[in-house]
Amino acid sequence: MSKPRKKVYMSAGYNTISLGTGRKEFHPKKPRPGLEHYIKEAGQGVLGRIGGAKNVDESVIGNFMAARFNKQANLPGFVPMIDPGLMWKPACSVEGACASGALALMAGIKSVLADTADVVLAIGVEVQNTVKAIYGADILAGAGWFQDRKNGHAYYFPGKFSDRAGAYFEKYGRDLTRKAFARWYRNAVENARLCPTAQEFHNTTKDLEGLALTEPNPKVFCEHLNVFDCSKVSDAGSGIAILSEEGLEKCGIDKKDAVEIIAWGQTEYDLTKEPEDLTVLETTKRAAREALFSAGITKEKLGFVETHDCFTIAGILATEAIGFAEKGKGAQFVQEGNTARDGIIPFNTTGGLIGWGHPTGGTGVHQAVTVWEQLTSKAGEAQIKLSEEKPYGLSINMGGDDKTVVAIVYEKGK
């Protein structure tokens, strides 16, 4: 794709707490907020920063499986609940498995580009702690080719990415790769400890890498991954405004408090087919390449990356897919500390999916909020130091086993 035909911005991001195991507020046997709570909190959080509902032209919700986790469909109908000022205004919902959040962003971006809206309220939300983990695994398997479900692991997606890890071990060595997984986990939790809304914010474990090196036990989980290699079950909502230049003016937002959407890559792989090479995230690779090419920049211009680390192996493979590490060298790249917050290219500055949480359909919007916070210096304790030589941020949101991918390049508004 070429660069957008007009300028598109994002601003006024808001995240709820990512609730689940690890948060002090979470108790599996006590009542917890429902889907409508997260939609309303995230939506009102954005509205409070853009001058209210009167400035919104339309809304979009990204969600994956509310119809099964919450027995609730027709999510656009919740938008007027956020604020009476949204009554009678257009709203829709989009779904693309774990990439649903980024697809919501893309829907808003395209509305602005089509001149049908100047201000779009984008929300990503998921409430998954309504069922036991093993039942949730069956629901989440809908992000894959469900006809293969009966042949898959009981924990379907952990099994899929365990297979990727096993293939990587066989090709490039197990010991260093396991240590890289542990380093990825450490980075995720250390970053999450700096973000009050993160699911791992309360984590006080001293030896994070030692814990993460716990040997996988295939009798109770997966052959090549342990539970610390996995993102957690999370309930959360995130919201952000997508705006034209006229929309910024209408909402009274200065460009320095917004990020400009420079370019994106959106790619799709056949859901019914297995990856040709388990050690490559080919769809992610193509999306990242398209985004960077369209932006007219190289990876060296990126100040940080928010990537879809649903599992530690996905984080390792993402470093290779974007091009920071050669094929088979991602484990070494991570183990050397290059993706830490003080490394060559910080990844997942508020913890990513493993540290902040993974409310499946909401993750893409959370990534955008994190990028907006970083580029506008609103990230608080989680803020990283950015240089003028590396002014861009990149987000990558993946649906399923590298099937649906959206990569977006952002720059601080100016």
Q: Look at residue 204 and tell me if it is in a domain.
A: no
Q: Look at residue 58 and tell me if it is in a domain.
A: yes
Closest to 9 measured CA to CA, from 237, 256, 238: 256
Closest to 352 measured CA to CA, from 199, 182, 133, 131: 199
Q: How many helices and strands in the chain, by DSSP H and E?
A: 14, 9
Q: Residue 2: pLDDT band by 50, 70, 90 thresholds?
A: low
Residue 3's pLDDT is 73
Q: Look at residue 358 and tell me if it is in a domain.
A: no
Q: Look at residue 164 and tell me if it is in a domain.
A: no
Angle of helix 282-295 versus helix 312-322 axis, rounded to 10: 40
Helix (H, G, I), strand (E, B) or coil at 13: strand
Helix (H, G, I), strand (E, B) or coil at 396: strand
Q: How far apart are alpha carbons 43 and 45 in whole angstroms? A: 5
Tens-digit pLDDT profile for residues 190-218: 999 999 999 999 999 999 999 999 999 99
Tens-digit pLDDT profile for residues 285-321: 999 999 999 999 999 999 999 999 999 999 999 999 9
For residue 389, give both structure tokens: 């030589």
Q: Look at residue 35 and tell me if it is in a domain.
A: yes
Domain count, the chain: 1
Residue 56: which CATH number? 3.40.47.10
Q: Which domain holds residue 51?
A: 9-132+233-255
Tens-digit pLDDT profile for residues 325-355: 999 999 999 999 999 999 999 999 999 999 9
Q: Look at residue 61 and tell me if it is in a domain.
A: yes
Q: How far apart are alpha carbons 43 and 153 in whole angstroms? A: 37
Q: Look at residue 115 and tell me if it is in a domain.
A: yes
